[in-house]
C-alpha cells in the first residue's frame, strides 16, 4: 500500500514580481488539482517576506507525483515560471516520523444528546422561577432530579450494570 507523498516547495521571486507568482498559481492550481492523484495543492506567502512563497503538495502516490512533474502542463509552464523566479524552486520531500496512531477519541457513551440540554433548560427555568415562587422551584427541581435519575437507571440497565431489561 502506497502512502501519500507530501512535499513543500520553497519559491523566491525576483523583487517586484511576486504578483506574477500569485497569478501563475491562480492559473495552474485548478488544472493541477484536477490531475489524477492530486490530494492537495496550496500556495502560501511567507509572512513578512513579499517575494517568498511556500507551495504545499500532497499526492496519492509516487507515480501520481511523477506523472504531474512530467505532465505537459508543467513542462510548458516551466519557462514561464522561471521568468519571474529568483532561482530554481527548492523541493523538500516530507516523510512521516511516526504514523498517526489510530483514533483514541472516546466513543459515545450512549447518553442521549438531549440529556445535557435538558439539565441546562431545567436549571434556567428553576433560576427564573426561584425569586418568585419558592414552591414551583422546589417542584421543578424535584421533577428534574427524578427524570435525570430515571434516565440514568435506564442507561445502567442497558449496559448490564443493573438487573432488568436490556
CA atoms of 78 and 161, how far apart (whole Å): 68
pLDDT band at 134 (very low <50, low <70, confident <90, very high): low
What is the enclosing helix (H) or strand (E) of 142? Answer: helix 134-158
In a domain, 105, yes or no: no
Kindly state whether residues 153 and 84 are assigned to the same domain: no
Q: What residue has cell string 509572512?
A: 47
Residue 130 is predicted with a pLDDT of 61
- Give the domain CATH number at 12: 3.30.70.100
Q: What residue has cell string 448490564?
A: 160
Residue 93 is predicted with a pLDDT of 93
Residue 89 CA: distances (Å) to CA of 16, 29, 55, 102, 144: 18, 17, 10, 35, 66
Percent pLDDT > 90 in the chain is: 55
pLDDT digits (tens, 9 = 90+) for 33-64: 999 999 999 999 999 999 999 999 999 999 99
User: Is 0.85 surpassed by the pTM of this model?
Assistant: no
Residue 155 is predicted with a pLDDT of 79
Kindly state whether residues 76 and 125 are assigned to the same domain: no
In a domain, 166, yes or no: no
Total count of domains within the chain: 2
Ranges of beta strands (E only) in the chain are 5-12, 38-45, 52-59, 90-94
83: containing domain: 5-94
Kindly state whether residues 22 and 84 are assigned to the same domain: yes
Kindly state whether residues 125 and 67 are assigned to the same domain: no
In a domain, 108, yes or no: no
In a domain, 88, yes or no: yes
Nearest-10 Cα torsion for 14, 19, 21, 24? -140
In a domain, 165, yes or no: no
In a domain, 119, yes or no: yes
**What are the backbone dihedrals phi and psi of residue 44, each rounded to the nearest 5 degrees, phi first?**
-130, 140
pLDDT digits (tens, 9 = 90+) for 58-84: 999 999 999 999 999 999 999 999 999
pLDDT band at 166 (very low <50, low <70, confident <90, very high): very low
Residue 96 is predicted with a pLDDT of 76
The stretch 133-148 carries a mean pLDDT of 66
Amino acid at each position: 500500500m502506497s502512502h501519500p507523498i507530501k512535499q513543500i516547495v520553497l519559491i523566491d521571486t525576483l523583487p517586484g514580481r511576486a504578483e506574477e507568482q500569485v497569478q501563475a498559481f491562480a492559473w495552474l492550481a485548478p488544472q493541477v488539482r484536477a490531475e489524477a492523484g492530486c490530494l492537495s495543492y496550496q500556495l502560501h506567502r511567507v509572512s513578512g517576506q513579499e517575494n517568498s512563497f511556500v507551495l504545499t503538495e500532497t499526492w496519492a502516490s509516487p507515480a501520481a507525483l511523477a506523472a504531474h512533474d512530467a505532465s505537459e502542463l508543467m513542462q510548458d509552464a516551466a519557462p514561464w515560471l522561471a521568468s519571474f523566479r529568483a532561482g530554481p524552486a527548492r523541493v523538500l520531500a516530507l516523510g512521516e516520523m511516526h504514523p498517526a496512531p489510530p483514533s483514541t477519541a472516546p466513543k459515545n457513551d450512549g447518553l442521549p444528546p438531549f440529556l445535557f440540554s435538558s439539565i441546562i433548560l431545567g436549571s434556567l427555568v428553576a433560576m427564573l422561577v426561584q425569586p418568585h415562587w419558592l414552591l414551583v422551584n422546589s417542584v421543578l427541581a424535584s421533577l428534574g432530579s427524578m427524570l435525570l435519575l430515571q434516565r440514568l437507571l435506564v442507561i445502567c440497565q442497558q449496559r448490564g450494570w443493573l438487573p432488568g431489561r436490556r
